[in-house]
Structure 1
């Protein structure tokens, strides 16, 4: 980056201005702190590679206008792209010699940005805007020439289209493994409540991390209809760059399982406040809360967000929680890489597979138009075409589909002395019921036994149980659906259970092998 020598009083102060949300921002000095609820965002004009006072004044006024009309993220992105101006020899010469900026600067920057050619839109808009301001260093003829150039848009959806195993949407087996591990972590108390709640919301609602970081306790409601209670949450909309944060919401219903985790987190937050106090009454109560106020927003127009996580903090919260679960991907045979972006991709692809229209998907993702959702309708299926016993036994342990505990017999199981805890299987051929294992859950369970038991952390399969029969039954049903041309979702509906049974059988065979040795 070109180093620019500055003279005293070189910066053209813009005073205090109102940003796009109507909040005050100090634009008098060389550092502009933008009002952004997602984290600290600032512009350092000392870094701008412009020496000419005329070009600098036009550029400063251009950015000030963007502050008034665009979101903080857009302003920050534009400023960052303009910092690359110093990589054009033609621009640097014109800037140094106080000459008109020639069209060559555009071609040089085009070569410099390489694959990020979409950035040229920002250089072109900046040049055109400075021409409109009457700055003599900018030529109307050059601006017209730039307007005639066709600039490709930003490539989108590559990770989704390719179903990339590291960055694309999770497949059915991966998301099932993640859910099973998440439920087991709650029972075993191996994840913090904020980690559980963050993962659950990302899986169930697919929010971007900014939306999640903006959530507050007041957004969660318990309602009753027809004698039935349910929990809903108001998710802030963030695709409206001209508005303040938290001015529009989308209300989403939560399952009781997810809602309960959210309520537990709120109760934990309230208890913490009672014990430790609250730094300032001007600070609102976020759902995902910091322990100390944000230094960049402890005062001023954004003070209400002082106890909210930064967007990056929420992203790290989700990633840390997923790592602690230790789920292994059957595709890569490595620790499952989970990010908020991947969970958002997964949420969208599953909605499409369940029959959502483009309009419904855009609404669920909080998009204002349909241009960014069509990629989800073009991806290939991630259904496993064939699955047999050998594959199930090989993939089952890798996928960690089974989370319970294998016991030698009923006598060695938790609740083994309670006949009501037995999990039975009915053999249609012999018309006899056979015992598979024991349920360690003391409360009522609404799951469909015995198939749902294999992916439950409370299930204790017996070593001599007829697990191979259940596996054979599911594999035969799967093959019949596949041969009949059934929808992929119907073919793979029990794949997680098949892998869990394969895991159980593989473990039992390993135990027997150890005993024989």
Structure 2
């Protein structure tokens, strides 16, 4: 008997997944195309509807597929990738085309922004050409490769532009005081203050500050391989070519943490923990908290929670270390430029700080509001350390550089060289350079401007003002760094019997205060304290001259 095998028809629908070979859904990827919009999950979308409108369906599909696979190589960071395709979109909007040929490349290269990132765009075009030779011509690739990059502008660190070069010591001090004063009066949150101080102290890039986690601030024991014991902060490195990913995949840069920054980090840890627990609706263990960003906001937490649950569809508690919880580097940048006073860790609706607008101080070099940014902070801090005599190899390691070559400009410091020459010649020139240059008077009647009350110079002693002499010049002196700045001026006419000794004591006390350690709530100390030694010597010289005059009168 012939037996014919048979299978129930419903077995096919039950045992075979007919959708197994369906096009994968974009969820779970860090980037994906939503129509003609290139979405960078948790960062931003790039809408390219207009830019791709002249492409054929085949060309458009090829562009999208190769764009996605190009990023997955891991050769470029998400932010670099965004820069390349934003510039490409701009040029496609300006010069619509159906294909990439030499004529289109020539037009695109007239744009300086496109020219700045042309090396990255060239790499994408080469990658695309290997997989679809019809997308871009060889002549276009050759022209893009042969074209010179944008002309290198004069580096800001070498510039004498008061709005671009490194900050002077006086500007740095004013900015430091403004930062602390805003925090003390409640105009800035702990988070905003700590971000600005981290930049001023360590000169780290905004992305490094954005990627900090709570666990990066801790106390080291003697097991640390870098030999740092005590309170430290581990900054995630960037620009490491050996990394496979963009997020915290580079070598870490460990630095000691001063007491005042440790105290602020302790407050920030407490505030951000309360923010996470309130927003996520759970209680975090100490290990879980260490995985979370040191700086965050309620909005960022909610957005990350939604993407983890709905886009990636993964367990929230197992992914607390996700980059999605970290605030964007652009927010850090705006905080450092003082254009924003948020985000903060407040989650109570009636206690926002966003409406407050703080500004950096006025700079004496321009008479306008000081321009502050991460680049100026980096140049300033490196210049300060170079002037302290830190060797290039140590400063290179401190900055996370692999080469000392990039530090040459910081050691090209004519003003500092002049200062060192002055110090070397000081023993021979000190009697002349620091000598009191004014003219002694026995009474105010002998002054050049005896009838001008504005010429009187006074010294405050408690609530009493005591005259120390007269000014013999009809002008305003702007160089005022000490209580009585005139002892080195040739136009100063000191009274022989004035309380010059009290002025000296005030200067000595002020000089001693500069050497005191920085304390929160106390007098602020600069990286390089004010040097009043020249003024002290001039007052001492004046006192000696006055004593000699008194002896003559007797």
8 Å contact kept, 1:171–1:382: no
2:295 to 278, 288, 292: 288
**TM-score w.r.t. structure 2 length?**
0.59
1:312 to 327, 330, 352: 330
Corresponding residue number in structure 1 for 2:39: 33
Question: 280-289 vs 55-64, which deviates more?
Answer: 280-289
Secondary structure, aligned partner of 2:253: strand
Separation in structure 2 between the aligned mates of residue 133 and residue 297 of structure 1, nearest angstrom: 35
Q: CA deviation at 1:239?
A: 2.1
Q: 1:360 to 1:17 in 2, by over 3 A?
A: farther
8 Å contact kept, 1:17–1:26: yes
Task: Answer yes or no: is 1:341 the counterpart of 2:338.
Answer: no
Separation in structure 1 between the aligned mates of residue 23 and residue 46 of structure 2, nearest angstrom: 14
Q: CA deviation at 1:68?
A: 0.6
8 Å contact kept, 2:87–2:114: no
Q: CA deviation at 1:260?
A: 2.0
8 Å contact kept, 1:117–1:154: no
Q: CA deviation at 1:450?
A: 5.0
Q: CA deviation at 1:28?
A: 6.4
Secondary structure, aligned partner of 2:235: strand
Separation in structure 2 between the aligned mates of residue 266 and residue 72 of structure 1, nearest angstrom: 28
Separation in structure 1 between the aligned mates of residue 94 and residue 507 of structure 2, nearest angstrom: 71
Where in structure 2 are there 5+ consecutive unaligned residues? 1-21, 223-227, 313-318, 342-355, 423-432, 438-459, 466-498, 524-531, 541-554
2:536 to 470, 473, 481: 473
Where in structure 1 are there 5+ consecutive unaligned residues? 1-12, 391-404, 411-428, 440-446, 460-468, 478-517
Q: 1:155 to 1:55 in 2, by over 3 A?
A: farther
8 Å contact kept, 2:166–2:380: yes
5 Å-filtered alignment, 1:457-496, equals: 472-473=535-536
Q: CA deviation at 1:157?
A: 5.9
8 Å contact kept, 1:110–1:117: yes
Number of residue pairs matched by the alignment: 399
Q: CA deviation at 1:328?
A: 2.4
**TM-score w.r.t. structure 1 length?**
0.63
Q: CA deviation at 1:252?
A: 1.0
Corresponding residue number in structure 1 for 2:353: none
Aligned CA RMSD, in angstroms, stands at 4.6
8 Å contact kept, 2:237–2:248: yes
Q: CA deviation at 1:357?
A: 4.7
Task: Answer yes or no: is 1:329 the counterpart of 2:363.
Answer: yes
Corresponding residue number in structure 1 for 2:69: 65
Corresponding residue number in structure 2 for 1:215: 212
Corresponding residue number in structure 2 for 1:235: 235
Corresponding residue number in structure 1 for 2:171: 174
8 Å contact kept, 1:279–1:293: no
5 Å-filtered alignment, 1:178-193, equals: 178-184=175-181, 191-193=188-190
8 Å contact kept, 1:15–1:27: no
Separation in structure 1 between the aligned mates of residue 362 and residue 410 of structure 2, nearest angstrom: 25
Bigger radius of gyration among the two:
2
Question: 230-239 vs 151-160, which deviates more?
Answer: 151-160
Q: CA deviation at 1:175?
A: 0.9
Separation in structure 2 between the aligned mates of residue 51 and residue 381 of structure 1, nearest angstrom: 58
